[in-house]
Structure formats: structure tokens, C-alpha cells
Amino acid sequence: MKKIVIVCGEISGFSYAKMIMKYIKKINPSVEILGAGGKSLEKYGIRIIEEYPSSGFIGFTDVFLHIISFARFLKRAEKKIKLEKPDLIVFIDNPGFNLQLAKRLGDLKKIYYIPPKVWAHDYKRIKIIKKYFSSVITIFPFENAIYQKENIPSFYFGHPIVDLIESQNIKEDFWIKTGLNKTKRIIGLFPGSRKSEISNILPVLLKIAIEISRTLPDLQFIISSASEEMKNIISSIQKKFNTYFPVWEENSQSIVYVSSLCFCASGTMNLEVALIGKPMCVFYKMNFINYLILKFMIKLPYISPVNIIYGKKIVPEFLQNMPYKEIQKRCILLLDNKEEIEKQKNSFQEIKKICGTPIISEKISEFILKNV
């Protein structure tokens, strides 16, 4: 029996792991799939050999404060994977941890799915990838040329986020649970999926929501939450702002479909919004030390994956120091100005073409099985 280990951390990594596991099992049910990742993966048929520690944080200072728990996890994961002697290890995203583990696992065969963004910062990581991985599976079309230039076998099948987009028939249950009025416009707030993101970004989104409400009092707002734990953090922040917007813990795409405009933390959610075809503004904020470090390290003109893929700013981005009056004007334009709305939506059609058509995860799974 062939044996594959999937190593992933964070909610987005778990989502991609679930999709490839589903297709691997469909194509070859006899393959045993093990995981160093979230406990939630167990119900999808992955036997967890080591549970990824709960993080929910971002940035260098946060990582430093949690370094001991991750060092312990690294040691345990290395030991258990070596004991299992898998035919293949698939690493998903999460480069800070995954590259360290890959080095420790030596000659075991490894594929990197969603490899480090060496084109954005820390290009020297490509040497580690070349030494320890047999191939990489990229999610941005321009990445292939970078890896191939370094003689690293690289493959692009499209962006797997496409497989997560579902047509939604918004049920009456949604309106009952949220208390939203179907006849009034809605703005969806997506403050991120990690503790640090929510703590830094949600206050910005709430402040903007309050300001816009003064101009457009009929607007409604709803907040997306990735988990019960994040919902509690959202509730405590709302109390400070004296806001009582409903918080939706289920499928975040439901919010996108009912929204006239989305306020998003920079991240994969931006692509989901674009593929569904709803206007958005993108925000990012972190503690000042992390911001200074990243500003020095990262050489990118944009922070949103939508703008990065398109190669041009098609959605407005607001980073760190928020010009609230400018943001308010821009948001009102994206609610009321048909030309501005259509400009974004037309650009999103191009994003759809670049990202590819569904069953991308199936193609990736077929590639993985061929390399076992």
C-alpha cells in the first residue's frame, strides 16, 4: 500500500489538503493518507500523526513569542514521519515551518504544493527547495518561469481556489440567523482568519462601517468568522466600538453572494470575492515592528492576490496608515458609481481566465499520485 503524508498549517492549507485528499481517495482508494496538520482533517480521511499547534498569529514578533511550541512540534513531526517511512510527502504553503521540516527529512521524496513566494522576498529559499524537493506545484502562472530558471521541475494547473467556489442558493435560514433585511444593501466584512489579523484589521473595518453609515444609513453590515474562537474575538472588539453587526461562522461565500461590496483583509478571500464577481476594497494592518520588517523585506507593488495575478491595481488597497476620508469616498463610489463597479467586475472576468476552470485539485491529485 502506498503511503502519502500531507504537511500543512493554517486554515487555507487545511482547505487545500481536504480537496486533494478527496480526489486522491477517489482516484486510488488504496492509498493511505497521513497528516501533520489540523485535527479537523481527520473527518476527511486523513490519519493525523501529529496535530499542528493552534497559531492564529502573523508576523515576526508573534512567531518569536510562540517559537517554543513550534520547535517541539517540528521535532515530533520529524520523528513520526520518519517512523512512517512514506512514499511521498506533500508540503502545502506555510514556508517558515515547512522548509525547516523538509531539511530534517533528508532524502524522503517531497513535493511542495503552493511553494514560498520567493519572487516577493527571501529568494535564497529557492536553494533549499532545489535541494530537498523533487518538484513544486505553483498557484500563480508566472511562478513557473522562476522555478524552471533554477532547474526546479515546476507545474501550474490553475489556482485551486476555483474549486472552492460554489453556486449559492441563499436559504431563508441565512436571513433568519443573521437578521438581515433582504431589501437593503449589505457590506460584508472579512477581517481575516487569524487572531492577529482580526485584532489589527477588524477595528479598521468597523470604523469605516460606522463612518459610511452616517452617509448611507440604510446600509447593513455582517462579519465573517472562521471559527468559534475567532467569533469570540470579534465580539469583544465589537463591544469596544459599540457595534452589533451579525457574525456568520458558516460558509463565508454566503456573505459574498448577498453583499453589494466587500471589505477584505488581504489574502485568499480576495480571490473568492473576485471569482464570485463582487466589488471589494482590501485592507491590511499589523503591529508597527512587523510592518517595518516586512516593508524592508518584501519587494511587491501590491498586497492583494487579485492585483498580483492581474499585474495591475484593479481593487483599491489600504495598508497600515488608513486615510479614512479617502477610503470612505472610494467605498461609496463602489456602491453607487456604475462605471467603477463595472470596471472591477470586468477585470474579475480576466482573473477567472487566469485562475482556470474547476477540477484543478483533481489534476493536482493525479500529478501527486503519478509521483508516489
**DSSP letters spanning 90-152:** EEES-HHHHHHHHHHTTTS-EEEES---TTTS-TTHHHHHHHH-SEEEESSTTHHHHHHHTT-
Q: Give the confidence band of 288 by pLDDT, cuts at 50, 70, 90.
A: low
pLDDT band at 56 (very low <50, low <70, confident <90, very high): very low
Q: What does R_g of the chain's alpha carbons equal in angstroms?
A: 21
Q: What is the pLDDT of residue 14?
A: 87
Q: Which residue has the higher pLDDT, 341 or 300?
A: 341
Same domain, 213 and 133: no
Q: What is the CATH number of the domain that holds 312?
A: 3.40.50.2000
Do 99 and 59 reside in the same domain of the chain? yes
- Mean pLDDT, residues 145-166 taken together: 94
Residue 71 included in any domain: yes
Q: Are residues 269 and 334 in the same domain?
A: yes
Give me the domain span that covers residue 113.
3-158+359-370
165 lies in some domain: no
Q: In the predicted model, is pLDDT for residue 71 greater than 70? A: yes
301, part of any domain: yes
- Does the residue 184 lie in any domain? yes
pLDDT of residue 54: 61
Give the pLDDT mean for 177-201. Answer: 95
**Tens-place pLDDT, residues 240-266:** 999 999 999 999 999 999 999 999 999
In a domain, 164, yes or no: no
Residues 110 and 188 grouped into a single domain: no
Q: Are residues 179 and 151 in the same domain?
A: no
Which range of 42-56, 116-130, 182-196 scores highest in mean pLDDT? It is 182-196
Does one domain contain both 61 and 202?
Answer: no
- The verdict on 215 and 292 lying in the same domain is yes
Q: Is residue 311 part of a domain?
A: yes
Could you tell me if 292 and 313 lie in one domain?
Answer: yes
| Long-range contact pairs involving 164-173 (C-beta distance under 8 Å, separation at least 24) | 164/15, 164/19, 164/253, 164/272, 165/253, 165/272, 165/275, 165/276, 165/358, 166/251, 166/253, 168/251, 168/253, 168/254, 168/257, 170/254, 170/257, 170/258
Question: Any long-range contacts for 115-120 (C-beta under 8 Å, 24+ apart)?
Answer: 115/143, 115/147, 118/146, 119/143, 119/146, 120/298, 120/299, 120/300
From residue 81, give the alpha-carbon distance in Å to each of 43, 49, 270: 20, 8, 34
Note whether 52 and 115 are same-domain residues. Answer: yes
For residues 30 and 135, state if they share a domain. yes
Quote the DSSP letter at residue 301: S
Total number of domains in the chain: 2
Q: What rounded mean pLDDT belongs to the chain?
A: 90
115 and 256 within one domain: no
Phi then psi for residue 256, to 5 deg, are: -60, -45
- Report yes or no on 237 lying in a domain: yes
163 in a domain, yes or no?
no
Give pTM, 2 decimals: 0.89
Residue 139 sits in the same domain as residue 217: no
Question: What counts of helices (H) and strands (E) characterise the chain?
Answer: 16, 13
Whether residue 188 contacts residue 279, with contact meaning beta carbons closer than 8 Å, is answered with: no
Report pLDDT for 154.
97
Show the cell assigned to 309. Answer: 495575478
Question: Alpha carbon of 297 to those of 109, 188, 199, 264: distances in Å?
Answer: 31, 32, 23, 23
